[in-house]
Chains A and B, each alone.
Chain A
Amino acid sequence: MLFKLAFRNILRNRRRSVMSIGAIAVGAIAMVLFGGFVAIIILGVQTDTVRRTGHLAIYRDGFFTFGSGNPAAWGMQGYTQVLDMVKQDPVLAPMLEVATPTVSLFGIAGNFAIEASRTFMGAGVVPQDRDTMRRWNPYQLTYNNAADSGLDAADPTKGVVGTGLARILGLCEALKLSDCPPPQAKEKLDTPVSTDIAALADSEKSANAEPVDTRPHIDLLAATAGGAPNVINMVVTRADRQGVKELDDAMVLMHFDLAQQLLYGRGEKRAIAIVLQLHSTADMPAAKARIAELIRTRNLPLEVRDFIEISPFYGQVTGMFGAIFTFIAAIMGVIVLFTVVNTMSMSVMERTAEIGTARAIGLRRGGIRRQFLLEGWILGAIGASAGLLIGIGIAMIVNRSGLTWMPPGQSAPSPLAVMVDGMWKLHAGIWLGLMVMTTLAALLPANRAARLPVVDALRHV
């Protein structure tokens, strides 16, 4: 009976009810679409991040907090055993896509033929593993498909640098980059040449001359973990644009073996990190817990970190979008609140005489309140449901429309998509949230209706 009464009262002023339902529905639509859009963006950032850094990294205990300025001092002893332990563990093995060792180091990169040099940040990776990691794509996002890494599994002397570093080291033309700077005018000394010094230097040069190689080379100098100066020569196969300028001006990606050679020299060869990429991000908490358990039970001086810790950008993007979504949801909620309060207040005012009559006949205050709350609730249910369905429908149309856009940090357009599958938590949340909002909104007018003095209400025409 109560429902029947509530429905009929809602239908009484059709236009007003439709407007309220419309406002609620628009709120639902906006959040379905925005929520789905954000979800895709975050999955895109996740895909990028996991391709680059994997899901988890195992370091020597303390490296993550203290060691990034001096990786040489934080090498993992016996890293091959740790690698085997991870690959053979019955819990981890089925979750694992790839487990690979890496080295990071600092030093000076130089093209001394033209007297150009700069400090560099180096990463040594295993090329085959790196290529496997770059193919990770469980969310079927079609942008930024992995090219090869630029390294050669068979030839450790080959490597890749950032485009900024390539320009600074004068490799611009050799690597066919655009925006090559004009050749630097060399510092002209006008002091007379010291002939014996010059002759000595020249004779050494010719004695030590190496066969001419037309490929672009750079020298990489670094101090070994033991503190000795070390230098290797690397063939630069290409320059890759890095997302961040500081990285672009300093990045050198090299073969794991070459990096180990440079960083450890004659000492014991270690790794700085063991990087793990899983099949699915959902397995990450379990994998991390398992690794922590292994570390604990075997008393290893190691720590494990996940990509959210390692890549603050991911956390920042997720956080920012989360904040924006919350903000938009709050605004929608307030609009819904105001609309419903307004609608119901008008309804209460118009039905003052009826309220008085019902009270006189014997309906309790609580009964009046319940009546109006129910009407608000029904408005909310219809509005939220309609909004959800329409929103999902629009999302599906957008997904099939073939529209594209350029996400930040990408260099190629990607399809404009709104996540709908598997978003049930978002959708349920939107529905419930709007329901709560409308019921709350109806509470104020409902209370007012309930507290109307009967006599005054009846006096109302």
Chain B
Amino acid sequence: MHRRTFLAAPALLAAAPALAQTAPIAPQAMVAAADAIRNPGQPFRVTSTLTDYVGGRPRDKVVLVVFAREDKKTGQFNNLVRYVEPPRDAGKLVLYAGSTLWFYDPASKAAVRISPQQRLTGQASNGDVLTINMQRDYKAAMVGPEAIQDADRQSRNCWHLDLTGGPDAVYSRIEMWLEQGTHRMVKGKFYSDSGRLLKIAYYRKYIEQLGVQRPSETILIDAVDSALVTTVGSSDMRPQEIPDAWFQRDFLPRLKIEG
């Protein structure tokens, strides 16, 4: 499978507005708030810039445009991703609807399903991190307050939460550090069913996007293949009307996206 598979921009569900609190609220409410920071609550588009680093040196760069919309019935977020750069991948599409991943190449006009086995490594595995829905799929428990270093080596006071994945969740366990007060995600650790650490994520460069401070850069560190790091930058987030048809596999060949 193509190494540079889809990588969805930070986008998700559960439309609860950001809360700013000083006293600790219930852990589940906290993660709901954290989710809300990443989710505008309306269909939107955003430009994602992904850069791979090997041993600290940048290697590959991909630019995508992501169209995201919540399916009101299931609460699931659907993402349609279009490659912009590099030129040889331009026009390729990835559809993330429900838990199925489809890859479409306009040159061959064929839509190929990407199975979970094919999403174990590479950029597809990062997509799982970026598209988690903590409030819906995980049960949060409070570990305690903890001061940790963020991605810029600044100390932040956080709530350390321990999330347990339900039967459909991708990760069986997540450790999440949310900034006290803002409930911004600072750092996350994602574990497999066997208890091994799979990914580490840092969230930084919070800027205003669609009226709320959202992380414009996520740093994903592969804990299994420890030389690999990917940065995901999001920019130009705007609301967008997205028709239902866009998220149907059969419609992919006829998809015309302007702008």
Q: Do chains A and B touch in the complex (CB under 8 A)?
A: yes
**Does B212 make an interface contact (CB < 8 A)?**
no
Nearest residue, chain B, Cβ from A264: B193
| A197 and B53 in contact, given A228-B116, A266-B172 (Cβ under 8 angstroms) | yes
Considering the chains assembled together, what is the distance between the CA atoms of A165 and B151 in angstroms?
38
Contact with B along A204-225 (1 / 0, CB 8 A): 1100100000000001011110
Nearest residue, chain B, Cβ from A220: B194
Considering the chains assembled together, what is the distance between the CA atoms of A394 and B146 in angstroms?
87
Contact of B116 among A189, A194, A227, A266 (CB under 8 A): A227
A205 contact set on B, CB distance < 8 A: 226
Contact with A along B102-128 (1 / 0, CB 8 A): 000000000000011101110001001
Task: State which residues 216-235 of B face A: CB under 8 Å.
Answer: 219, 221, 223-227, 229, 231
**Does B91 make an interface contact (CB < 8 A)?**
no
Nearest residue, chain A, Cβ from B53: A197
Q: Is the interface of B mostly helix, strand, loop or mixed?
A: loop
Q: Kindly specify which of A40-48, A109-117, A345-353, A433-441 makes contact with the partner chain.
A: A109-117
| A208 and B172 in contact, given A107-B120, A194-B58, A221-B120 (Cβ under 8 angstroms) | no
Q: Kindly specify which of B36-44, B63-71, B161-169, B243-251 makes contact with the partner chain.
A: B161-169
B57 contact set on A, CB distance < 8 A: 189-194
| A200 and B115 in contact, given A228-B192, A229-B170, A229-B192 (Cβ under 8 angstroms) | no
A230 contact set on B, CB distance < 8 A: 192-194
Nearest residue, chain A, Cβ from B166: A266
| A197 and B219 in contact, given A189-B55, A189-B59, A229-B128 (Cβ under 8 angstroms) | yes
Determine whether the beta carbon of A223 is less than 8 Å from that of B58.
Answer: no
| A222 and B170 in contact, given A195-B56, A204-B223 (Cβ under 8 angstroms) | no
Nearest residue, chain A, Cβ from B117: A223
Contact with B along A256-295 (1 / 0, CB 8 A): 0000011011110000000000000000000000000000
Considering the chains assembled together, what is the distance between the CA atoms of A264 and B193 in angstroms?
8
Give the total number of A-B pairs whose CB atoms are below 8 A apart.
Answer: 125
Nearest residue, chain B, Cβ from A193: B56
Contact of B165 among A110, A197, A266 (CB under 8 A): A266
Determine whether the beta carbon of B117 is less than 8 Å from that of A107.
Answer: yes
Contact with A along B184-222 (1 / 0, CB 8 A): 000000001110111010100000000000000001010
Considering the chains assembled together, what is the distance between the CA atoms of A266 and B225 in angstroms?
23
Considering the chains assembled together, what is the distance between the CA atoms of A292 and B168 in angstroms?
35
Contact of B119 among A187, A190, A194, A223 (CB under 8 A): A223
Distance (whole angstroms) from the CB of B194 to the closest CB of chain A: 5
Determine whether the beta carbon of A208 is less than 8 Å from that of B170.
Answer: no
A110 contact set on B, CB distance < 8 A: 224-225
B59 contact set on A, CB distance < 8 A: 189, 191
Determine whether the beta carbon of B152 is less than 8 Å from that of A221.
Answer: no
Determine whether the beta carbon of B194 is less than 8 Å from that of A200.
Answer: no
Contact of A200 among B151, B192, B223 (CB under 8 A): B151
B153 contact set on A, CB distance < 8 A: 196, 199
Measuring CB to CB, which residues of chain B are less than 8 angstroms from any residue of chain A?
53-59, 99, 115-117, 119-121, 125, 128, 149, 151-153, 165, 167-172, 192-194, 196-198, 200, 202, 219, 221, 223-227, 229, 231
**4 residue pairs, one from A and one from B, having the closest CB atoms:** A265-B193, A198-B56, A223-B116, A189-B57
Q: Apart from A228-B171, A231-B196, what 17 extra A-B contacts exist at CB < 8 Å?
A: A112-B224, A112-B226, A115-B227, A190-B57, A191-B57, A193-B56, A198-B55, A200-B229, A203-B149, A205-B226, A208-B223, A221-B224, A223-B115, A223-B120, A224-B193, A229-B116, A262-B194
Give 12 CB contacts A-B under 8 Å.
A106-B117, A189-B55, A200-B221, A201-B229, A203-B149, A227-B170, A228-B170, A229-B120, A229-B125, A230-B193, A261-B193, A267-B193
